């Protein structure tokens, strides 16, 4: 076979054996696109993937509209996705046993001990195991080679990524979630670094992964490669999401920046002022709904990079789309997302009920049809599981995938290569009986302690039991690629050189009364974030309590009336913002017990815990167990 001069010129720059292998296994048009990238590591990674996975063909996707359209059409042609009634909408099913992040089988490959709280395995043994599962995994299928940027293309914040997969659903999802960067790869040199990802859905039956017991997601920290096999659920298969995030955390710490599991949004204050906040919340704890609050604008809902510049903190959104939990998204509580999910644009629904080409999900405010197709296959309202329990019409962790550019509330700075100035940070989880709805930390150090002490009740977003109180510092524990102590030390050091670091706030939307009913409304979070924005600018006073600064009743009453047209009573205020001393002291004991098993925990953090305990103990002696905010 004769190739053009461009190919021959590129081929002279690579190893002869590699050249011969690529020309024998990739068609001319695709090889031309691959060799336009002047980096032998790119060529080698593709070649090794071909040798290992044995695909029937290879497709190299550039940034062109034609290539991207090919990806989407193939997902439909192969049945990995199907058309829905609204133009641009498709449905994808992962199967009944591939519905969430697989924490037990997601591990780091490491040559060093990462600590008790981090899931890791010895590097060589783990790599051998997953390589065996990947052998011949693409037989009869087409391999897809993709190029993306984590962050705005051309930004100093951003990281380049090479993704290989055999799932057109995965490749299509990435087009909605990330910025394509083939042209950026055309400009790299032999010395350029980038993250690499190799994924295969493995053997499939009716487009559903078959060998679930052999599902593995391994992150090689030494070579910065993610291997993922025998899965389709995006949290396990889309390498650029939480898997790349793990690599970014390891990269960030020695370079003096932070890779965080946070949204990035603009809170709109008085006189058309915009103030940017980031915020860390575990899955299903209100993270996306906060970033999508009415009247505010979104930069991103999940992952950010934070860097210091000119003695201030700036941030970019790593992603350009949302892979969001769709449960409880409804017209009243989530109008922007609801409109996006019901208008012609590009949306992938996953693991919801489809009847008459319409998607239905849990908590959507509609009466579900009596039958349809869902993640288990055909479904009726009488369907039960093996234990004779009713099967819901959609999975609790069903998702939607959509580009941020489809949203009416996207912030104009979404692609700002220089990032946006971050003035505040939120830390919040699912807490039914301990923390107040919003509290401002005394200092950066105290705020870090709030984030490092974060607890949350488990949800359907991860496999396992629900409703269990779990420890999740900064909402990042599942993704930490370094020991917790080292990660916290980097947080404390990040304050160095910042005359006025971002203010840190703790939030909790899930307080319940004795009857088990929530005592805050779905839209109340708007008031908590607006109050926080005013605090950043020093425009409202606050009450100093043992746990930090909390709002005055009159300020909240005014905001509730102005922004939600609701009458906020003093009874509500007292119930929500009373300091629950026994529960708070019990929490500190739990946190101390957890960190006592970790190595190299910063003394600064332990000191903050001690001071918090002393303040609460003194308050208990003075005021009793359940202290009204009016007592301070």
Euclidean distance between CA atoms 144 and 164, whole angstroms: 6
How many angstroms separate the CA atoms of 520 and 524, rounded? 6
Which segments within 124-165 are labelled E, that is strand? 142-150, 159-165
Burial call 379-410: b when 16+ CB within 10 Å, e when fewer: beeeeeeeeeeebbbbbbbbbbbbbbebbebb
Burial group, residue 178, by CB count within 10 angstroms (0-12, 13-18, 19+):
buried
Residue 599 CA to residue 484 CA, distance in Å, equals 8
Which long-range contacts does 24-29 make (Cβ < 8 Å, 24+ apart)? 25/50, 25/58, 26/50, 26/58, 26/60, 27/57, 27/58, 28/1, 28/3, 28/4
Which one is catalytic: 11, 53, 61, 285?
Answer: 285
The DSSP-derived string for 431-465 is -SSS--SEEE-SSHHHHHHHHHT-EEE--TTBSS-
Residue 69 tokens read as: 């359209």
b/e per residue 489-509 (b: at least 16 CB within 10 A): bbbbebbeeeeebbbbbbbbb
> Hey, which residues does 197 pair with through a beta bridge?
163, 226
Backbone torsions φ then ψ of 270, nearest 5 degrees = -60, 150
Report the phi/psi class of residue 154: left, alpha or beta, with left for phi > 0 and alpha for psi in -120 to 50: left
Q: Is the four-CA dihedral 443, 612, 277, 152 of positive or negative sign?
A: positive
Residue 201: C-alpha distances to residues 144, 163, 217 (Å):
12, 14, 11
User: Is 504 in contact with 448 (CB distance < 8 Å)?
Assistant: yes
DSSP E strand boundaries for 464-607: 469-471, 503-508, 542-545, 548-551, 579-580
Our answer to whether residue 53 is catalytic in this structure is no
* Whether 353 contacts 379, CB under 8 Å: yes
Asked whether the CA dihedral 296, 298, 304, 310 is positive or negative, the reply is negative
Q: Cα dist. 559→162, 263, 530, 571 in Å?
A: 47, 23, 8, 16
- What tokens appear for 249 in the block? 């955390």
Phi, psi for 84 (deg, rounded to 5): -110, 180
CA 8 to CA 30: how far, in whole Å?
A: 14
Backbone angles phi, psi at 346, to 5 degrees: -85, 115
Q: How far apart are CA 170 and CA 239, in angstroms?
A: 9
CB 34 within 8 A of CB 22: yes
* Residues with active-site annotation: 285
């Amino acid at each position: 076979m004769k190739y053009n001069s461009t190919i021959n010129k590129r081929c002279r720059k690579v190893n002869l054996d590699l050249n011969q292998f690529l020309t024998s296994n990739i068609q001319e048009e695709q090889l031309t696109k691959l060799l336009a990238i002047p980096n032998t590591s790119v060529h080698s990674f593709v070649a090794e993937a071909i040798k290992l996975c044995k695909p029937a063909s290879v497709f190299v996707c550039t940034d062109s509209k034609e290539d991207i359209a090919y990806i989407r059409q193939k997902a439909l042609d192969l049945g990995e996705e199907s058309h829905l009634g609204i133009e641009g909408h498709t449905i994808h099913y992962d199967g009944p046993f591939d519905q969430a992040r697989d924490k037990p089988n997601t591990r780091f490959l490491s040559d060093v001990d990462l600590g008790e709280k981090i899931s890791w395995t010895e590097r060589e043994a783990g790599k051998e195991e997953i390589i065996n599962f990947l052998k011949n995994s693409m037989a009869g299928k087409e391999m897809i080679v993709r190029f993306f940027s984590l962050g705005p293309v051309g930004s100093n914040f951003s990281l380049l990524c090479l993704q290989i997969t055999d799932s057109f659903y995965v490749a299509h999802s990435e087009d909605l979630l990330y910025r394509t960067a083939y042209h950026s790869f055309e400009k790299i040199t032999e010395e350029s670094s980038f993250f690499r990802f190799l994924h295969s859905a493995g053997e499939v039956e009716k487009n559903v992964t078959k060998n679930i017991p052999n599902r593995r997601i391994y992150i090689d920290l030494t070579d910065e490669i993610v291997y993922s096999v025998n899965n389709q659920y995006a949290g396990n298969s889309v390498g650029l999401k939480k898997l790349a995030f793990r690599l970014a955390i390891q990269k960030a710490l020695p370079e003096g920046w932070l890779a965080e599991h946070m949204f990035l949004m603009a809170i709109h204050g008085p006189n058309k002022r915009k103030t940017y906040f980031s915020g860390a919340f575990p899955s299903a704890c209100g993270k996306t709904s906060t970033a999508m609050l009415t009247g505010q604008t979104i930069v991103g809902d999940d992952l950010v990079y934070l860097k210091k510049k000119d003695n201030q903190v700036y941030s970019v959104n790593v992603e350009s789309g949302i892979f969001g939990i769709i449960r409880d998204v409804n017209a009243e509580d989530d109008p922007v997302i609801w409109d996006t999910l019901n208008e012609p644009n590009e949306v992938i629904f996953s693991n919801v009920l489809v009847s008459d080409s319409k998607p239905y999900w849990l908590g959507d405010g509609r009466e579900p049809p009596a039958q349809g197709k869902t993640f288990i296959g055909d479904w009726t309202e009488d369907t039960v599981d093996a234990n004779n329990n009713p099967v819901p019409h959609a999975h609790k962790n069903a998702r939607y995938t959509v580009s941020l550019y489809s949203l009416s509330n996207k912030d104009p700075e979404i692609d700002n290569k220089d990032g946006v100035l971050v003035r505040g940070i939120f830390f919040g989880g699912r807490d039914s009986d301990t923390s107040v709805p919003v509290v401002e930390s005394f200092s950066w150090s105290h705020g870090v302690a709030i984030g490092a002490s974060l607890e949350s009740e488990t949800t359907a977003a991860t496999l396992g039991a629900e409703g269990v109180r779990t420890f999740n510092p900064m909402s990042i524990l599942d993704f930490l690629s370094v020991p917790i102590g080292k990660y916290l030390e980097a947080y404390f050091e990040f304050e160095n050189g910042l005359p006025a670091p971002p203010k840190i706030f703790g939030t909790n939307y899930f307080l319940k009364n004795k009857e088990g009913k929530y005592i805050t409304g779905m839209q109340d979070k708007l008031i908590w974030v607006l109050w926080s924005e005013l605090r950043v600018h020093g425009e409202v006073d606050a009450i100093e309590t043992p746990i930090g600064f909390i709002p005055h009743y009159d300020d909240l009453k005014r905001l509730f009336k102005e922004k939600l047209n609701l009458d906020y009573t003093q009874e509500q205020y007292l119930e929500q913002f009373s300091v629950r001393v026994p529960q708070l002291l019990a929490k500190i004991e739990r946190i101390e017990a957890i960190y006592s098993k970790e190595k190299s925990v910063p003394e600064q953090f332990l000191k903050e815990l001690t001071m918090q305990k002393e303040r609460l103990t003194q308050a208990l002696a003075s005021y009793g167990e359940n202290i009204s905010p009016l007592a301070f």
